[in-house]
């Protein structure tokens, strides 16, 4: 949804500003969403939590364990199921918008049903939190240390003479690069993780970064 800065500010004042944060897991979407909700009174909708409720999982770790890794038995079927669940959760989030609404999407929002993704981009101002180079290595290591369900979409391949985990870590940057292009296609505003994850960046600065440039 294309907006000028004046449109953005006017919508916020009237209580009908809808924003969706997109980007990879562990890049600061949830952290930023919670700060904005607390300080700017946004109605926060977290897609991961909606899916967890539908699945009956108690935590993100449970969800990640159910999803498994791309080399796990039955992963392909669970990947399809995850996209279906995310499509339904995103549709529910779009329909639940009220006042100023902020949707914290999952990293795989770009893979949901096209008609629902289209509704999201038509009704929400899409802000893409882009991975800064300084966070790339850390993001890769966090994938294993802080498990979250991940849709690989055939970007994983077993590399000769490497273990599955070693292969995973080598393929992960390729997945990031492919997703980067897809996030950019749907975004209305791009901000860097270097700003979002910097502890000296105030929430007021974040709010200004979200706004259109003109």
Task: Give the structural domain span for 105.
Answer: 5-210
- Count of beta carbons in the 10 Å neighbourhood of residue 179: 22
The DSSP element (H or E) to which 182 belongs, if any, is helix 164-186
Beta bridge partners of 46: 104
Q: What pLDDT is stored for residue 73 in this prediction?
A: 94
Task: For residue 29, give both structure tokens.
Answer: 């979407």
| Residue 5: pLDDT over 90 | yes
Contact 15, 23 (CB under 8 A): no
- pLDDT class for 203, splitting at 50, 70, 90? very high
Average of per-residue pLDDT across 29-52 = 93
In the chain the beta strands, taken as DSSP E runs, fall at 18-22, 43-46, 101-104, 125-130, 189-192
Rounded to a whole number, what is the distance in angstroms from the first to the last CA of the chain? 15
CATH of residue 87's domain is 3.40.50.300
Q: What pLDDT is stored for residue 169 in this prediction?
A: 87
In 74-143 the beta strands, taken as DSSP E runs, fall at 101-104, 125-130
Into how many domains does the chain fold?
Answer: 1
Residues 6+ apart with CB under 8 A from 15: 99, 100
SS3 state at 162: coil
pLDDT digits (tens, 9 = 90+) for 108-136: 999 999 999 999 999 999 999 998 777 67
Task: For residue 45, give both structure tokens.
Answer: 């909708």
User: b/e per residue, 108-131, with b = 16+ CB within 10 A?
Assistant: bbbbbeeebbeebbeebbbbbbbb
| Residue 25: pLDDT over 90 | no
CA distance 90 to 106: 9
């Amino acid at each position: 949804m294309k907006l000028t800065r004046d449109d953005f500010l006017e919508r916020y004042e009237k209580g009908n500003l809808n924003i969706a944060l997109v980007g990879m897991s562990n890049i600061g979407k949830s952290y930023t969403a919670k700060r904005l909700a607390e300080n700017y009174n946004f109605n926060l909708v977290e897609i991961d939590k909606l899916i967890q409720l539908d699945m009956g999982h108690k935590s993100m770790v449970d969800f990640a364990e159910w999803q498994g890794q791309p080399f796990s038995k039955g992963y392909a079927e669970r990947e399809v199921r995850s996209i279906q669940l995310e499509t339904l959760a995103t549709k529910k989030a779009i329909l639940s918008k009220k006042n100023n609404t902020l949707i914290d999407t999952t990293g795989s929002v770009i893979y949901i049903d096209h008609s629902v993704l289209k509704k999201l981009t038509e009704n929400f101002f899409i802000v893409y939190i882009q991975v800064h180079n300084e966070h790339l290595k850390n993001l890769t290591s966090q994938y294993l240390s802080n498990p979250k369900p991940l849709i690989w979409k055939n970007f994983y391949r077993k590399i000769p003479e490497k273990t599955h985990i070693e292969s995973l870590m080598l393929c992960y940057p390729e997945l990031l690069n492919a997703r980067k292009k897809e996030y950019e296609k749907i975004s209305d505003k791009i901000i860097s993780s270097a700003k979002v994850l910097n502890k000296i960046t105030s929430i007021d600065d974040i709010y200004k970064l979200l706004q259109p440039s003109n």
